[in-house]
Amino acid sequence: MSNGSDMEGYEEQQGESIVSSLIKEVSGLGAKLKLKNEDEEFSPFEGIEKAQVLQEARNFDIGEFVLKKPHECRQIMVQMLYLLYQDEKLSPDETSRVFFGCTKLFQSNDANLRRMVYLFIKELALATKADEVIIVIQSLVKDMTSSDMLYTANAIRVLSKIVDTQFLTSIDRYFKQSIVDKNPVVASAALVSGMHLAKNPGNSDVVRRWVSEVNEALNTSNDMVQYHALRLLYDIRKHDTHAVAKVVLQLSRSMLKSPLAMCQLVKYASSLLKRDDFSDNNKRTLLDFLDSCLRHKHEMVIYEAARAMCKLPDTTQRELSPAITVLQMFLSSSKPALRFAAVRTLNQVAMTHPEAVMKCNDEMESLINDSNRSIATLALTTLLKTGNESSIERLMKQISTFMNEIGDEFKM
């Protein structure tokens, strides 16, 4: 099942990870790993020295080299990244020269080179001083307003990693424009960048000024943009409990289009329901919202709502019944992920409300022979918590068949 941490990975959907970028470029360094003997391999980075790479990086200042040899420029940056990840330190003068060289690479329109430039700047900026980073910020701001979606989205991501509060204030209008951009890739990049920027207390006042744009993005038809807009809106409001409650209550009546956003809204509603200072009327509204989510068309939302209801404190068996019924249906699903999620949640509920889970015993007994041994083991241990004397005796006889097929955690 999906959660917030799973979704944050989506922010880099249009960018290349460090590892994948290195792997791609390594293939061009010596294209294939050279063999000392028939069965022996060695790294294509073997013998690389900082002085040599820095000397080659001086070619960035030569316009003809940048325009005609983008592939070689990428190779130089890959070598530099490799050295940085080997804890090779650059002096202040060396860092400044490299950053100045990076600004010259923006004159090339080679898409692959530009993507490597974004990656290179983001990683090198972590090891340099703020005043030196300013060298490349103007080039990034220019790309941020480009008509090319690839340039715009990646420039936004890099800026959010390296810009300071003072400079952010001067360019925040570009972030606002990007949040409401019609292209979902650009809008999501801006919203996720806003989440990163909001983590710095110094940026909080700037990010709060984006509320109207974030609300506009929340009404978009794109699932991922809507999800990211909700996440950023919560980050802006999270220090004000009343403001958070107002947002959640308002959205709980409107039913967001995005399943991802609905799952996140369920989590926010669940956290509010656990608060002692939340009014009974508002709790009733949110409980009705969770109940309505049990009839959502998307299985992910249904499961999140059922799990949230099962985790609420001081719930009675009667209040749990709708959620248990949904999980009972999931036990018969053809999807292993749904079966596993349902049986794991029921296993947890059985610790406090074994009577509520007993009605699922027939379905769980059929899972004892499930091909997924994690599902089978969870079903068996749940049945041990909910069964009567005769059923437990029967189950104990089946346990011996599991012992050679499961890990130590389940054995215990």
User: Structural domain boundaries of the chain?
Assistant: 1-162, 163-239, 240-314, 329-412
pLDDT higher than 70, residue 149: yes
Give CATH for domain 163-239. 1.25.10
Q: Please state, in angstroms and rounded to a whole number, the distance separating the CA atoms of residues 272 and 256.
A: 18
**Mean pLDDT, range 131-153, rounded to an integer:** 84
pLDDT higher than 80, residue 82: yes
Identify the pLDDT of residue 276: 84
Q: What is the pLDDT of residues 190-219, one digit of tens each?
A: 999 999 999 988 898 999 999 999 999 999
**Mean pLDDT, range 169-188, rounded to an integer:** 93
Q: Please state, in angstroms and rounded to a whole number, the distance separating the CA atoms of residues 164 and 133.
A: 10
**CATH says 1-162 is which class?**
mainly alpha
Kind and range of the H or E element at 241?
A: helix 241-252
The residue ranking higher by pLDDT, 342 or 401, is 342
Token pair 């070689």 in the structure block, residue: 72
Please report, in angstroms and rounded to a whole number, the separation of the first and last CA atoms in the chain: 26
pLDDT higher than 90, residue 249: yes
Q: What is the pLDDT of residues 360-369, one digit of tens each?
A: 988 988 898 8
Q: What is the pLDDT of residues 259-287, one digit of tens each?
A: 999 999 999 999 999 988 888 899 999 99
Q: Please state, in angstroms and rounded to a whole number, the distance separating the CA atoms of residues 30 and 10.
A: 32
Nearest to 221 by CA among 191, 192, 172, 257: 257
Q: What is the pLDDT of residues 365-397, one digit of tens each?
A: 889 888 888 898 898 889 888 876 666 666 766
Token pair 């699903």 in the structure block, residue: 333
Q: What is the pLDDT of residues 302-357, one digit of tens each?
A: 999 999 999 998 888 899 999 999 999 999 999 999 999 999 999 999 999 999 99
Choose the weakest-confidence range: 220-229, 253-262, 328-337.
253-262
Return the percentage of the chain with pLDDT > 90, whole number. Answer: 43
How buried is 263 (Cβ within 10 angstroms: 0-12 exposed, 13-18 middle, 19+ buried)? buried
**Mean pLDDT, range 184-188, rounded to an integer:** 95
pLDDT tier, 412 (very low <50, low <70, confident <90, very high otherwise): low
pLDDT tier, 91 (very low <50, low <70, confident <90, very high otherwise): confident
pLDDT higher than 60, residue 182: yes
pLDDT higher than 50, residue 8: no
pLDDT higher than 60, residue 108: yes
**Mean pLDDT, range 288-315, rounded to an integer:** 94
| Topology alike, domains 1-162 and 163-239 | yes
Q: What is the mean pLDDT of the chain?
A: 84
Q: What is the pLDDT of residues 32-63, one digit of tens each?
A: 444 445 555 666 777 788 899 999 999 998 88
Identify the pLDDT of residue 126: 67
pLDDT higher than 70, residue 27: no
pLDDT higher than 90, residue 136: no
pLDDT higher than 50, residue 258: yes
* Phi, psi of 384, deg, nearest 5: -65, -25
